[in-house]
Structure formats: structure tokens, C-alpha cells
């Protein structure tokens, strides 16, 4: 590795990066805002970040990299971006297939009112006399037929209407936003127009595309937030922004490039065009919200930890450089307070605890965990840094809950043999033989594994590996750290053992202790002794085994039948706000209704956190 | 000349053009949307389009070009863009000095109400507790101090407010547009904020920058509309758009690049920053209006000759790619009808015939002449294609009314000797000796010259040069065409004779006949026999000698004392609408109040046009 700097040209985007020799193609790409999806976050597990070196050469592939490449890849110049190290100038082609990880399950659709902000109206431009400016004719027909008046027209629509002899001379569908602005004129009376709901998580971006005419979900997708390269949690993103004058802009650029790539890929695979998207809603925690808008999140790192903006906001997609319909707006949902952002507002829109008499405890599990407790009289919220462990990041064999991820684990108490289930495959490994070919562990698999390690006595209450259980799966790993082998290399897609290390278990303990302490503080504050309704949200929440989670103490004690796993409720809330404009108003009302509890200011938090580290946690 | 194509890289813009060998640098630049101002429209008269060839070489300079270059220019690679022909790849630097022709006189300032759409409000962000999002604190202070509520905030402003430790922590000026939207937060309580009024003519662009706090005009400038390369009149621009799929976009790009360059040059010379401009108004004829907005003007070339949009419109400057303040809007004034556009609405705002009892005849002279006749009860308007002759284009020695242009001419009836005055110099040439160094003839000089040619008998009533007047100034020119020498080469800046050819005189006859016929049709329609109040507008109108114009029959017969020369009334109207929002409402009311007369449908027009060709015109 030298201090030399090389120039890397990425195709087909034509973006250019500079990278020090010895750094990886993935690092250079992310610096330059070129999005390459790396499902395992660039840990060399999954082989998902295949790129093709067209000109120049990278350093020779390691054995690990060679093992993950497909037969014949070498001759064609294919490399794995996370492992191929730069040695001189290169041109690198990013195949579309690497752009997007898929396999995320959509939220369970709940029927809702379909009353979007953008609606289509059918008029016939061939009607009437020609003695009028075209825009005036559109206005007159809209007034005559629909009693919609005083419409303004986006400048991009004027260009379309100026053309002659095209497909806008007769029957057209006029897209009107909020009853006030014409944002599109589409040929024909059956024109389709779509909406996009975005949930921007610290680690994962989820996107949902639906038909605004009937509310039907037509595509769903997810990608790793490319900002992980700038820091794995929100504090490190704030720090990056504070230390670099254009840090926020760089993170924004990377984020928007990845959203664009995600939408494009969804469009290709589901047969729509990104320009058909004419409205969008966005949720995300406060830091993601700020970075998405290009607002430096620096203030959130300084006392009194205030966001710059809390209210909802409408922004033209083109002002952020997102390639949707030319006059499409994005509706950014409001924030609650501190780090509890629009994503939690999405959760509230989805679950509606503010309409219930019963007290609900809602935990949205992600890199940042948000907890809400209360009912229609009062709602408390707090945010706790769980770290990315529950999303499979910062775990040695961790990955997102996409195809190939181990999502369920059970360990035989007598033999310590392991069985597992994998996302995208039916049934358990034992029934398949070697056919499941897992690539790594996602959050629910990690929770299962740790819970079973505990119930089988392989780890103790303090999370430390037992010294007296004998099995070949329990061993000293490379750095002398104890680890447990979940799947042997012969079974895996990567040709490497899938393990859970002592450090991984420690990450899970820290995450669960933070969640536990947050719940306790809110329960004490609201004087609630026990939970009769619990809602677990989070994209990976759908996969979690309740018994394992309760064993681990991830949730406060609760009747398993009273626990609902609702999946990505934040994304679902964004989708509801996309399809029903009343939901946007509800969001604006509920966001300031929630009382934010700043855990850092609570004396009790530290004590509860210490209590929560043990498995199962001790009651204070 | 070959069919080879070369690549031309323009600095500092980094734009690249391709040009066939043998074409000029100016042509390549305009194709690529690189703006090089050519005050004489690229006729090789003025030496104003100096550029520097940094790499590669053009064809060797002609004698004409060498004569116009400054001493030492050759060694440094300077060339004139309109004459240097491409021979292989080149890098061409466009010096800032060539970007803008100046010298235009501002309209005569009339006092007006100062009530702009954008206003600054002083607040102190250090006040109050810190327990609020910054945007909320701004909103609260605006409500407390100014009772302005429900403000929305442009996304670019949010970025500024997110920064920490900068100059937005204490006293700031909040810029609010229409009392509804925050479009800027400036440091300090004495922050300056500016407005821009644009008049986009077929041949000339005029720009005025004023201080929105007190209405003071601080800069004025003009440039040739680069679309002249796509056709000299509006019909040829429509035709270009119809024949090329992205013709409108290309003309828009060229136009906006030139506006950007003009504003930047004004900013440099007057000590402001283009980003200080936070509001703008725009006028222009219907075709310029459409092209400026990127709307193909094709419909204006097809029966029933309807614009796509007539109403006024607010557009974000950034949506058109104009480099003003990041959240600055442009207010595009409404159109009247047909080709009578927002420029004529500007004239009405300036002169206010719709508030007068007396009948006014208003003629706005430009490449397209617009005529308005009437009073507060009724106003008629029409448009007639006068051609660019009155702006100095399509005239062999013609140029814009900038420094170096002959603006007054007199011819001695006995000796046929010529005297002249030059823009930017005091007094007549006879008193200066050879010191005036004219470069060409602008519109008022052309009118003077033709009128004096007639009164001295050098041309007859039909405009043809006399066969019996003997003077060395009257001669056969290069193509065998008769021409009259206004200034000998020894006197001129270009080292070439400044002449008026038979064809030039024909152009003037066509222009004046069109204006005359238009006036007659409107007067007949309104049953007005004579004119007691006449207003002559147009940037070059200020320079016109009334006696010459009446001699020529450019205006209908009128007492010279009743003729007011008001300069660029369209630009003045735009400036009034910039400074007083009531003027925008007035524009929206008056535009549909004017009745448009389509001259092409009037039988009388053709007859009156034929009558009008003679000097002085015969009464029908």
C-alpha cells in the first residue's frame, strides 16, 4: 500500500473518483457518490458487490475474493468491490444487478382510504374552440368538468403543452396536486401515476412504490444506506458532518444516488418508469432527515441537541436531484423531538396508539431504537442507540435480512447441533441437507442464536461463553476470541464458517440493555407496571422469534400473544401518508403531541442499562 | 473549407462544441450555448468579440480581422470570434470583457411605490431559549415581532440554518416572499437584497438591477440575444423550433447563458453579487417568453396562432438554471395576445394609457413593433414585423446603440458632406476632427441618415438613390449596389467605410411601412382621425430625432411637441413590477383588457402597407 492516488472512472454513471492505492473499489465508489450495494456491508461475505474492471487493473484477488467469484468471472474482469484494492487508474463498470438487494417483505397491507395529494382528471383537449391559450383551455375544462379553479401550472408541464402534433392533442389525464397545481398532463384517459414512500434508516433504506389510483403496492425494495461508510451510527454521521465543511452535502449526495439507483432498479424489475412517480413521502430519524435535505445535522450533536426543523415540509424532487416525475414533490413528514424523527411518526400513523384507550408499548428496532409508550391521553417517546447489531451490521457474520441470510436458529440442548432457516428458502436446513447455502446471519437469526446459546448453557447470564460445554462448534477464533460456529463452511455460500463471536454477543447485550432501559424509564415515567399490548416494528421485526426475544430480554416481560410483529411500520406509515392526505394532517397533529424523554438526562437510565446487560435481565 | 469536424473547448465555462472546419468560433460557441457578445452581430465591424486561442490554431486572420485586433494581440493568441475560422481542435478562452456590451441609457426614472414581493425583516436569533428547532424560533420571532405567521421555508434556507457557529447565530435579516415563504436568512441587520428586471427582446436583452429596500436602480446592461444565430426575427425562431426536436431547448439554453453572463458582468462592474438578487420580473414578446420558459413556440406558427400560456407565472430561477439567489423567483408578466407579449404589458405599466381619458398612440419599436391605441375605455393592440433594422441588425454597417455607434447624422444639402454624433462621446464629429472613431450605425443614426438622404434629394420618394446628385459619397458598392458613405475609413474605428446601401434603405422602408400600416388599421378601427398624444418606446427610441422620424413617415403625422420618447418602457414596466407588487396585479388586469387586432386578418393592412413604403408616405 502506497500513498499514491489513482483515478477511478465508474461506468455507466461516468462519475470519477480518486482513491489511494490499496483502498478498495467500494470505498472509492462511496467517496464519489457511486452507489454499489454491498448486502453484507462490505465484509466479504456475500459476493454481492460484483463489479467489472474494464480498463486498468486492481491488485490480484485474495483467496477469499476468488472463492466468492463465479466461474469465468476472472476472465471477464469481474471483481468484488469490497475486496478488490486499487492499483493505478481504472475504469470500473457497475452492473445493474449489484445495484439493489431485494427480498424484503412488504408491510402487511392494511386497507386504508385512498385519497392522495395528486389526482388525475380526464379532459379532452380536442373539445372547444381553438381560440384560447392551451393552458387556459385546460383551466376552463377543469373548471367546467370538475369545478377546480385557479390552478397554477408547473413550468415543466408548460413545455409539454407547447409541443404540437404529439399525443397531448386529444384525451389527456391532468395531474393536479392539492387541488391547486398542475404537475403533469399525461396522454390518454388510462394513464397510470405512481407514488413512492421512502423510509431512510441509518443502515437500511426501504422503498415502496404504489399506484395512486387504487393504493395498490406494486414494488418494494431495500438497499444499504451508503452513509455507513461515513460512520455506522447517527452520532458518527453528526461527527463526520461537523468535521468536514461539506460533510453533510457529501452524505446527502451518496444517499440520493443510492435512492435513485434503488428506484431505478425497482422500476426495471417491476415494469414501471421512475418518471411515472408523481408524489412521494419520506420518513427517517432526525439525522437521516436532515442529511436527506442537505441540512447539516451538527446542531444535534451540541447541547441542547435541537433539530433545525421539525415541521413537515414539501420539497420538489428535482431540488434534491432525485429522478422522479419532473414536477413530483416529496412530502417530508414531521419530526417528534431529539433523534425521534419522522420514522417514528410513520410508526404512529401505522399503529395509531394515539387513538387507543389501551396503553401500547411500541418499539421500532433499528440502528437507533425508538420507543413509544402511552395512549390517546398521553404518549411518551425516547430514542436509544441500539447500534446496528440488530440489522446484522457490526456482527462478524452479520448481513441484512435478504435472501441467503439465516433468519432462524435453534440449538439442540444435548448435542449442541445447530439447525437454521434462511430467507428466501422454505423450511429448515436439516430437511434440506446442504441446499440452503446461507451467507450470514441477519438480526432475527442473531437473536435466536444468542437466546439458544443461553438456554443451552453455552453462554452464561453475563453473556460469556461457558468454559465447560464441549463441542467442536465452540472454539477460539483467529484473534484468540471465543466464537460459536452456526454453520460450517461446507454448508455456506461463502465457503467460510458463519460464526457468532464473544464480541458479537456483547453487541447484542448492549443493544438489548439500551432497549430495556429505555422501556423502563418510560414505564416509570408513565407509572405503568406491566405491558398488555406490545408492538414490535422494524423491517426485520417480522422475522423475530418472540420466545427468543423474551428469553434474551429484548422486550420487557409480556404475554407473547399480546406482542404484535408489524414489520416496517415506519415505511407503512409513509405509505399511508402517500395514499391518504388526511394521514399527513394526522402526522402534523400527532408529532408535537408526543412528549420526548431525553434518556441522557434521566438518572434512572444508566442504572437500568446496567441491569439490562444480563441474560435474562434482572428486575430492579 | 472541408467537411472535417473539430472539437472546441471553451474556457472558463468548460463547455465543448463541435464545429465544421471553416465555420467561425462564434458560430461554434453559439451552437454550444457559450455566450460571446458580438455587438455588431458578428459582422466584423466592432472588434468586440475578442477571444484567446489557448491551444490549437484557427485559420490565419484576414486583413479585416488583423485591422481590428489591438497591438500585441497576435502574439497572445487573441482573435475575433466572428472572423476566426476553425481549423482543428482548439481551446478558446472567452475573456470577461467580451461578455457584455454596455452603454445603454437607463429609462428615465419615475418615482413609484416601493412595495416589493420580497421584504427583509430583522430578528435576533440569540434571543429566547434554545429549546426550539431553529426554524421554529425564526417562525416564533416573526410572529411576535411582525405578526407574520404560517411561514414555509425554502429548502436551501434550511441548509444555512443548520450550520453552527457561523454568522447566522445573532442578528439576521429574514427575507420573506409574498408574506408566506422564507427565501433567505442573511447575516446582520443591514443586509442588502436586490431585484432584477429583464426585458428579453428578439434582438436585444436589457437588464436592470435595483435595491429592493429603496427602489434605487444600481445597474443597467444589455446584450445581444444569442438567438439571433437561430434566426433574426420571431418567425424564423418559431421555424427553428418546429424543425428541430430540441430547438426550443437549445434556444433557451443559449438565452439563459447570455442572461447569466450579462448579470455576472453587471455584478462585477457595479460591485454586487448575483446571489444578492432575490426577486426578478421578466417581460418579452410572446415568442421570447415561450422560449425563455422552454415552451416550444410552435403553436404560434400554426393557425389560430395561439400561445400556450398567457397568464402571469412565478418560476424559481433555479428551475430555469439562472444563477440568482438560490431561492429567487422570477415573475413572468402576462401576455396580451398573439405576438403582443409581456413586453407590451410592461409598456402599459410604464405609460398607463388605461388610466387616461385622452387617446394615446404608443409604439414600441424593436425587431417586432407593437402598437397600442386607446384610453381607459378601450385599448387596441397589434404587432407588426418591423425586422431588426431599427436595432441596427440586418443593416450592412448596423450595430446596437452602444458606445461607438453613430446615433445622429446630418447631411449638408449643398455639399452632401456628413456630420454625425456617436454614443458615448459629446458633440458632433465636425467639432472633434477625427476623434470620434465610429464603429457603425445604430437605429437612430440610420433613421437620421435616411431622412437626410431624402431631404437632400439623394434618394427619391421611392427610396431609390438619385441618378443626378454628384458626390464621392454616393457610389457603387462591391456587389454593384448603390451605397452612401456616412463615414470614411480614415475616421472609423474599424478602418472600413461606414455605409448605407440601397438594401439598407429598403429595410428601413419595410419597417416604417409596417408600423404605419399598423397604426392606420388601429386608428380606423377606433375611428380616430388624428393623434394628440404619441409615445415612442424602445431602447433606441431615446436617441431618435423626431423631425427625421416624421420626415421618414416612421410615425403618423403628429405635433412633435406631443411626441414623448420614453426609452425602454417595457423594461421600465418590468422594473415597476419588480418594485411594487400592485403593479403585478395591474398587469394581470390590463393584459386581458387589451383587444388584439390580428393584422394578417385585416384587409386594410396590405393596402396601407403599400402606401407606407414611400417617403414621405402618401395619405390614402
Answer whether residue A128 is part of any domain: yes
- Contact A234/A202 with Cβ under 8 angstroms? yes
Q: Which of A30-34, A101-105, A265-269, A283-287 has the lowest mean pLDDT?
A: A101-105
pLDDT level of residue A404 (50, 70, 90 thresholds): confident
By C-alpha distance, which of A579, A574, A492 is closest to A215?
Answer: A579
pLDDT at B4 over 90: no
Q: Does B151 touch chain A (CB under 8 A)?
A: no
Same domain, A371 and A403: no
For residue A105, tell me if it sits in a domain.
Answer: no
Question: Do B428 and B417 form a contact (C-beta atoms < 8 A)?
Answer: no
Is B404's pLDDT higher than 90? Answer: no
Cα gap B411→B453, rounded to integer Å: 7
**Is residue B206 domain-shared with residue B307, that is, in the same domain?**
yes
Contact criterion met (CB below 8 Å) for B48 and B222: no
Q: What DSSP assignment string belongs to A228-296?
A: GGG-SSHHHHHHHHHHSTTHHHHHHHHHHHHHHHHHHHHHHHHT--GGGEEEEEEEE-HHHHHHHHT--
ipTM: 0.75
B577 pLDDT higher than 60: yes
> Is the CB of residue A613 less than 8 Å from the CB of residue A516?
no
Asked if B341 and B234 count as a contact pair (C-beta separation under 8 A), the reply is: no
Domain end position, chosen among A464, A490, A506: A506
Distance of CA A174 to the CA centre of its chain: 33
* Residue B31 located in a structural domain: yes
My answer on whether A255 and A317 are in the same domain is yes
Percent over 90 (pLDDT), chain A: 52
Query: Which range has the top average pLDDT, A90-94, A280-284, B76-80?
Result: A280-284
Residue B214 is placed in which grid cell? 429603496
Alpha carbon distance B572, B565 (integer Å): 13
Does A591 share its domain with A541? Answer: yes
- Residue A213: inside a domain: yes
Q: Which chain A residues are closer than 8 Å to B294 by Cβ?
A: 155, 158-159
Q: What is the pLDDT of residue B434?
A: 62
Q: Rounded to the nearest 5°, which phi and psi values hold at B189? A: -100, -5
Which range is least confidently modeled, A232-236, A349-353, B456-460, B531-535? A232-236
Residue A202 is assigned to a structural domain of this protein: yes
Inter-chain residue contact A158 with B295, CB threshold 8 Å? yes
Show Cβ contacts of residue A325 under 8 Å, excluding neighbours closer than 6 positions: A183, A184, A193, A275, A276, A277, A278, A317
Contact B162 A133 (CB under 8 A): no
Question: What is the C-alpha to C-alpha distance for residues B536 and B564, in angstroms, rounded to an integer?
Answer: 6
Contact B131 A306 (CB under 8 A): yes
Q: Per residue in B283-318, pLDDT tens?
A: 999 999 999 999 999 988 887 788 999 999 999 999
Q: Which of B295, B320, B337, B340 to mutate to test the interface with A (most CBs of A within 10 A)?
A: B295
pLDDT band at A110 (very low <50, low <70, confident <90, very high): very low
| Mean pLDDT of all residues belonging to chain B | 87
Does residue A527 have a pLDDT over 50? yes
Domain extent for B171:
118-187
* pLDDT value of residue A498: 93
Q: Which residues of A touch B299 (CB under 8 A)?
A: 134, 162, 164
Closest Cα in chain A to B286: A133
Cβ contact A308–B132 (<8 Å): no
Verify whether the Cβ–Cβ distance B132 to A306 is below 8 Å. yes
Mean pLDDT of A313-332: 95
Nearest to B162 among A153, A298, A315 (CB): A298
Q: What is the 3-state secondary structure (H, E, C) of B355-377?
A: HCCCCEEEEECCCEEEEEEECCC
The answer on B134 and B64 residing in a single domain is no
Asked whether residue A242 falls in the same domain as residue A305, the answer is yes
Does any CB of chain A come closer than 8 Å to the CB of residue B178?
no
Buried b (16+ CB within 10 A) or exposed e, B51-68: bbbeebebbebeeebeeb
Are the CB atoms for A275 and A115 separated by under 8 Å? no
Q: In this predicted structure, what is the pLDDT of residue B104?
A: 39
Ranking A56-65, A325-334, B287-296 by mean pLDDT, the lowest is A56-65
**For B250-280, how does the pLDDT look when each residue is reduced to its tens digit (9 = 90+)?**
999 999 998 999 999 899 989 999 999 999 9
Q: Indicate if the pLDDT at residue A158 is higher than 50.
A: yes
Residue B132: cis peptide before it, omega within 30 degrees of 0: no
Q: What is the mean pLDDT of residues B76-95?
A: 86
Q: Domain with A37 in it: what CATH number?
A: 3.10.20.30
The CATH number that applies at residue B135 is: 3.10.20.880
B134 touching A, CB under 8 A? yes
Looking at chain B, which residue has its C-alpha nearest residue A291?
B159
Non-local CB neighbours of B565 within 8 Å, separated by 6+ positions: B536, B541, B542, B544, B546
Q: Name the domain count of chain A.
A: 5
B100: pLDDT confidence band, cut at 50, 70 and 90? very low
Q: Is the pLDDT of residue B147 over 80?
A: yes
Same domain, B325 and B200: yes
Residues of B in Cβ contact (< 8 Å) with A304: 130-131
CA–CA gap between residue B105 and residue B400 (Å, rounded): 12
- Whether A318 sits inside 8 A of B319 (CB atoms) is yes
Are the C-beta atoms of A384 and A612 separated by less than 8 Å?
A: no
Listed residues B317, B332, B347: the one ending a domain: B332
For A161, nearest residue in chain B (alpha carbons) = B308
Q: Considering only CB atoms, which chain B residues are within 8 Å of A158? A: 293-295, 308-309, 313
Q: Among partner residues B130, B158, B320, which is closest to A295 by beta-carbon distance? A: B158
Q: Give me the pLDDT at residue A101, please.
A: 32
Q: What does each C-alpha distance from B449 to A20, A400, A537, A575, B293 come to in angstroms?
A: 71, 83, 85, 73, 39
Q: Which of A291-305, A382-396, B28-42 has the lowest mean pLDDT?
A: B28-42
**A364 grid coordinates:** 421500532
Distance separating alpha carbons of residues B73 and B65, to the nearest angstrom: 11
- Cα distance from A595 to chain B (closest Cα, Å)? 14
Distance from B32 to chain A by nearest Cα, in Å? 21
The whole-number pLDDT of residue B620 equals 44
**Residues B216 and B182 placed together within one structural domain of the fold:** no
Residue A397 lies in a domain: yes
Co-location of A377 and A316 in the same domain: no
pLDDT in tens, B173-204: 999 999 999 999 999 999 999 999 999 998 88
Reading the block at residue A384, the C-alpha cell is 436509544
Longest dimension (CA), chain B: 93
pLDDT bin (cut points 50, 70, 90) of residue A105 is very low
Q: What is the DSSP letter of B280?
A: E
Per-residue confidence band for A33, with pLDDT thresholds at 50, 70 and 90: low
Which of residues B137, B163, B187 is at a domain's end?
A: B187
How many contacts (CB atoms, under 8 Å) link A and B? 127
Question: What's the Cα-to-Cα distance from A210 to each of A281, A578, B592, rounded to whole Å?
Answer: 11, 9, 43
d(CA A422, CA A440): 9
SS (H, E, C) B482-534: EEEEEECHHHCCCCCCEEEEHHHHHHHHHHHHHHHHHHHHHHHHHCCCCCCCE
State the pLDDT at residue B111.
43
* A178 is a domain residue: yes
- Interchain pair A248, B162: CB under 8 A: yes
Partner-chain contact B304 A164, CB within 8 Å: no
Residues B69 and B122 in one domain: no
Phi/psi for B75 (5° steps) reads: -60, -35
**Least confident piece of the model among A15-19, A380-384, B157-161, B448-452:** A15-19
Interchain proximity A135–B310, CB inside 8 Å: yes
Residue whose C-alpha cell reads 434462511 in the numeric block: A422
Coil, helix or strand for B219?
strand
| Mean pLDDT on A490-499 | 86
- Residue range A72-91: mean pLDDT, rounded: 86
Mean pLDDT of B459-473: 91
* Residue A11 clears pLDDT 80, i.e. is over it: no
Report if residue A339 sits inside a domain.
no
- B-chain residue closest to A132, CA distance: B306
Nearest to A162 among B131, B133, B295 (CB): B295
- Kindly report, residue by residue over A592-604, the tens digit of the pLDDT: 999 999 887 888 8
- Cell numbers at B455, concatenated: 431631404
Q: What is the C-alpha to C-alpha distance for residues A26 and A35, in angstroms, rounded to an integer?
A: 9
**Same domain as B199, residue B82:** no
| Residue A12 pLDDT | 58
Exposed (0-12), middle (13-18) or buried (19+): which is A558, by Cβ within 10 Å?
middle
Stated as kind and residue range, the H or E segment containing B263 is helix B247-270
- Has residue B110 got a pLDDT over 60? no
What mean pLDDT comes out for the span A72-83?
84
Say yes or no for a CB contact (<8 Å) between A163 and B298. yes
**Packing angle of the helix pair B286-293, B234-243 (nearest 10 deg):** 40
In chain A, what residues touch B297 (CB-CB under 8 Å)? Answer: 162
Q: Answer yes or no: is pLDDT of B12 > 70.
A: no
**In this structure, are A76 and A207 located in the same domain?**
no
The CATH number covering residue A201 comes to 3.30.420.480
Q: What is the structure's pLDDT at B42?
A: 79
pLDDT at A193: 96
Radius of gyration of chain B (CA): 26
Bridge partners (DSSP) of residue B330 are: B280, B315
Answer positive or negative: Cα dihedral of B236, B30, A159, B116.
negative
Residue with the three cell numbers 435535505: A293
Hey, are the CB atoms on A133 and B304 less than 8 Å from each other? no
Buried b / exposed e over A370-401, threshold 16 CB at 10 Å, is bbbbbbeeebbbbbbbbbbbbbbbbbbbbbbb
Around B386, how many Cα atoms within 13 Å sit in the side-chain half-sphere?
A: 32
Higher-confidence residue: A131 or B68? B68
The span from the CA of B315 to the CA of B607, in Å, is: 43
Using alpha carbons, list the distances in angstroms from residue B132 to A357, B139, B168, B173, B174.
30, 11, 16, 19, 18
Residues facing A122 on adjacent strands = A173
Q: What gap in Å lies between CA B80 and CA A68, rounded to an integer?
A: 61
Amino acid at each position: 500500500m502506497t500513498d499514491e492516488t489513482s483515478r477511478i472512472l465508474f461506468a455507466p454513471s461516468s462519475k470519477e473518483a480518486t482513491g489511494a492505492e490499496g483502498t478498495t473499489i467500494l470505498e472509492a465508489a462511496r467517496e464519489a457518490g457511486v452507489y454499489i450495494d454491498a448486502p453484507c456491508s462490505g465484509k466479504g461475505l456475500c459476493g454481492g458487490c460484483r463489479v467489472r474492471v474494464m480498463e486498468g487493473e486492481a491488485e490480484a484477488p485474495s483467496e477469499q475474493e476468488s472463492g466468492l467469484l463465479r466461474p469465468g468471472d476472472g476472465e471477464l474482469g469481474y471483481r468484488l468491490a469490497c475486496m478488490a484494492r486499487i492499483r493505478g487508474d481504472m475504469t470500473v463498470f457497475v452492473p445493474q444487478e449489484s445495484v439493489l438487494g431485494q427480498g424484503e417483505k412488504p408491510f402487511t397491507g392494511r386497507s386504508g382510504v385512498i385519497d392522495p395529494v395528486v389526482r388525475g382528471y380526464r379532459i379532452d383537449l380536442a373539445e372547444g374552440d381553438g381560440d384560447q391559450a392551451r393552458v387556459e383551455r385546460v383551466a376552463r375544462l377543469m373548471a367546467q368538468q370538475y369545478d377546480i379553479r385557479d390552478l397554477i401550472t408547473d413550468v415543466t408541464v408548460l413545455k409539454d403543452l407547447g409541443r404540437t402534433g404529439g399525443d397531448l392533442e386529444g384525451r389527456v389525464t391532468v395531474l393536479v396536486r392539492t387541488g391547486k397545481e398542475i404537475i403533469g398532463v399525461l396522454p390518454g384517459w388510462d394513464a397510470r401515476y405512481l407514488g413512492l414512500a421512502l423510509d431512510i434508516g441509518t443502515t437500511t433504506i426501504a422503498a415502496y412504490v404504489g399506484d395512486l389510483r387504487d393504493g395498490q403496492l406494486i414494488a418494494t425494495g431495500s438497499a444499504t444506506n451508503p452513509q455507513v461508510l461515513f460512520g455506522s451510527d447517527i452520532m458518527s454521521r453528526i461527527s463526520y458532518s461537523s468535521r468536514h465543511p461539506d460533510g453533510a452535502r457529501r452524505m446527502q449526495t451518496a444517499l440520493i444516488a443510492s435512492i435513485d439507483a434503488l428506484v431505478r432498479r425497482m422500476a426495471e424489475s417491476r415494469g414501471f418508469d421512475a418518471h411515472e412517480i408523481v408524489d412521494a413521502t419520506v420518513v427517517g430519524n432526525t439525522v437521516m432527515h436532515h442529511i436527506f435535505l442537505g441540512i447539516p445535522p451538527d446542531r444535534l450533536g451540541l447541547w441542547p441537541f435541537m433539530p433545525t426543523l421539525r415541521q413537515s415540509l414539501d420539497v420538489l424532487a428535482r431540488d434534491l436531484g432525485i429522478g422522479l416525475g419532473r414536477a413530483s414533490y416529496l412530502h417530508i413528514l414531521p419530526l417528534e423531538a431529539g433523534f425521534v424523527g419522522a420514522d417514528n411518526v410513520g410508526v404512529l400513523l401505522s399503529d395509531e396508539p394515539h387513538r387507543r384507550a389501551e396503553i401500547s408499548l411500541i418499539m421500532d428496532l433499528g440502528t437507533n431504537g425508538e420507543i413509544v409508550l402511552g395512549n390517546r391521553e398521553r404518549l411518551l417517546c425516547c430514542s436509544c442507540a441500539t447500534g446496528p447489531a440488530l440489522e446484522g451490521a457490526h456482527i462478524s457474520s452479520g448481513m441484512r435480512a435478504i435472501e441467503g441470510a439465516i433468519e432462524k436458529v435453534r440449538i439442540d440442548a444435548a448435542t449442541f447441533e445447530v439447525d437454521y432457516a434462511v430467507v428466501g428458502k422454505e423450511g429448515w436446513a436439516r430437511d434440506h441437507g446442504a441446499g440452503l447455502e446461507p451467507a450470514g446471519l441477519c438480526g432475527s437469526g442473531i437473536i435466536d442464536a444468542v437466546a439458544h446459546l443461553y438456554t443451552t448453557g453455552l453462554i452464561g447470564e453475563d453473556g460469556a461463553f461457558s468454559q465447560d460445554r464441549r463441542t467442536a462448534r465452540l472454539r477460539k477464533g483467529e484473534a484468540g476470541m471465543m466464537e460459536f460456529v452456526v454453520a460450517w463452511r461446507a454448508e455456506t455460500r461463502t465457503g467460510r464458517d458463519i460464526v457468532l463471536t464473544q464480541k458479537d454477543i456483547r453487541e447484542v447485550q448492549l443493544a438489548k440493555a439500551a432497549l430495556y432501559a429505555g422501556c423502563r424509564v418510560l414505564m416509570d415515567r408513565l407509572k405503568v407496571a406491566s405491558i398488555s399490548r406490545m408492538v414490535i416494528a422494524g423491517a426485520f421485526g417480522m422475522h423475530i422469534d418472540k420466545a427468543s426475544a423474551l428469553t434474551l430480554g429484548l422486550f420487557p416481560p409480556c404475554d407473547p400473544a399480546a406482542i404484535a410483529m408489524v414489520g416496517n411500520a415506519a415505511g407503512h406509515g409513509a405509505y399511508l401518508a402517500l395514499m391518504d392526505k388526511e394521514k399527513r394532517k394526522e402526522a402534523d397533529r400527532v408529532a408535537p403531541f408526543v412528549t420526548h424523554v431525553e434518556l441522557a438526562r434521566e438518572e434512572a437510565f444508566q442504572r437500568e442499562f446496567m441491569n439490562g446487560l444480563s441474560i435474562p435481565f434482572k428486575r430492579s
